[in-house]
DNA sequence: GTCCAGGGCCTAC
DNA sequence: GTAGGCCATGGA
């Protein structure tokens, strides 16, 4: 990318962030009491409404299952029952348990020790785990491990697509590089930026464009939103 | 009743 | 390398 184009992109993405931040204030994203809860939530929210994830996490807490040790020791049926409300519960049970096993084998079950690992090899290890793709890995790296990676999700694609900033079907790594190349590698900024995208996406950017009142509407290209 | 949600894997071309 | 089917529940 040319320096001039990169500078324009930085300006565009910064303006986008300013509009959302002015509308919502700090989001404090991601919800979760501990890094491990954040990591589990990242797996459970795959293609699923967050309200359903909350139910599953509440079940885990009530059953005292919200630790790698407890999950690995629990009956499979008990874990499945707890995760049921989050949908795809058989797959997600397998994915959560595989993550727990890896965390235990590699770091003695410690998210703190995991977070001390350098970013690039850690990301590669996460991506090698069955059931952890790029978005889930980056959720965990950014919000549970405080690593400066930008999370790309469906809302990110939709918003950038509608504003003519990037095609919505740009490959994940290219979309991530677009943000990371244009913004400073700042964990707090990346956390808030993604949180604001999620909030804006939920409120204004569902499948049908619904731009009335959207903080980003004044930035839309001529001709209105595109998909 | 129908549609859809903050993905990821597998298979077929 | 990519398009399409599959996984499952709960809320709108």
pLDDT tens for each residue of A115-145: 999 999 999 999 999 999 999 999 999 999 9
Residues A80 and A95 in one domain: yes
User: Domain end: A100, A125, A144, which one?
Assistant: A144
Q: Is residue A225 part of a domain?
A: no
- Residue with more model confidence, A194 or A220: A194
Which pLDDT value is given to residue A225?
A: 75
Residues A46 and A121 in one domain: yes
Residues A158 and A206 in one domain: yes
Which nucleotide is nearest, taking the CA of residue A47 and each C1'? B7
Averaged pLDDT score across all residues of chain A? 95
Which pLDDT value is given to residue A2?
A: 85
Asked if residue A183 has pLDDT above 70, the reply is yes
Asked if residue A226 has pLDDT above 80, the reply is no
The mean pLDDT value for A30-43 works out to 97
CATH number for the domain harbouring residue A198: 1.10.1670.10
Residues A61 and A136 in one domain: yes
Q: Is residue A226 part of a domain?
A: no
pTM, whole model, 2 decimals? Answer: 0.96
Which pLDDT value is given to residue A207?
A: 63
CA dihedral A183, A186, A192, A196 (to 10 degrees): 10
User: Domain end: A122, A144, A166, which one?
Assistant: A144
Chain B positions with any atom < 7 A from a protein CB: 3-10
CATH number for the domain harbouring residue A54: 1.10.340.30
Residue A173 CA to residue A124 CA, distance in Å, equals: 13
Residues 6+ apart with CB under 8 A from A191: A29, A30, A142, A143
Could you tell me the distance in Å between the CA of residue A87 and the C1' of nucleotide B11? Answer: 23
**Which of the residue ranges A40-44, A61-65, A110-114, A164-168 would you say has the lowest mean pLDDT?**
A164-168
- Residue with more model confidence, A193 or A208: A193
Structure tokens given for A183: 């913004």
Residues A132 and A175 in one domain: no
Whether any strand B atom is under 7 angstroms from the Cβ of A27: the reply reads no
Residue nearest to nucleotide C7 (CA to C1'): A88
Whether any strand B atom is under 7 angstroms from the Cβ of A89: the reply reads no
Asked if residue A102 has pLDDT above 80, the reply is yes
Which pLDDT value is given to residue A66?
A: 98
Count up the domains in chain A and report the number: 2
Residue A214 CA to residue A201 CA, distance in Å, equals: 9
The mean pLDDT value for A170-199 works out to 96
Q: Is residue A137 part of a domain?
A: yes
Q: Is residue A227 part of a domain?
A: no
Q: Is residue A68 part of a domain?
A: yes
* Domain extent for A42: 35-144
Residues A140 and A55 in one domain: yes
Instruction: Say how many CA atoms lie within 13 Å of A19 toward its Cβ.
Output: 16
């Amino acid at each position: 990318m040319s320096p001039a184009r990169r500078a324009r992109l930085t300006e565009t993405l910064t303006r986008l962030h300013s509009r959302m931040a002015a509308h919502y204030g700090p989001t404090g994203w991601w919800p979760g009491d501990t890094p491990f809860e954040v990591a589990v939530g990242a797996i459970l929210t795959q293609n699923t409404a967050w309200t359903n994830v909350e139910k599953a996490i509440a079940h885990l807490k009530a059953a005292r299952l919200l630790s790698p040790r407890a999950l690995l020791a629990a009956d499979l049926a008990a874990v499945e029952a707890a995760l049921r409300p989050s949908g795809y519960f058989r797959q997600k049970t397998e994915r959560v348990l595989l993550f727990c096993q890896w965390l235990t084998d590699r770091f003695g079950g410690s998210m703190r020790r995991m977070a001390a690992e350098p970013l690039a090899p850690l990301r590669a290890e996460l991506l090698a785990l069955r059931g952890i793709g790029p978005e889930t890995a980056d959720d965990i790296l950014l919000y549970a491990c405080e690593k400066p990676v930008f999370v790309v999700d469906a809302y990110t694609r939709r918003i950038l697509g509608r504003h003519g900033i990037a095609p919505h079907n740009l490959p994940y790594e290219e979309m991530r590089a677009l943000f990371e190349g244009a913004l400073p590698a700042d964990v707090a900024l990346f956390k808030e930026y993604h949180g604001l995208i999620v909030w804006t996406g939920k409120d204004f950017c569902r499948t049908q464009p619904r731009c009335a009142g959207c903080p980003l509407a004044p930035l839309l290209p001529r001709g209105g939103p595109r998909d």
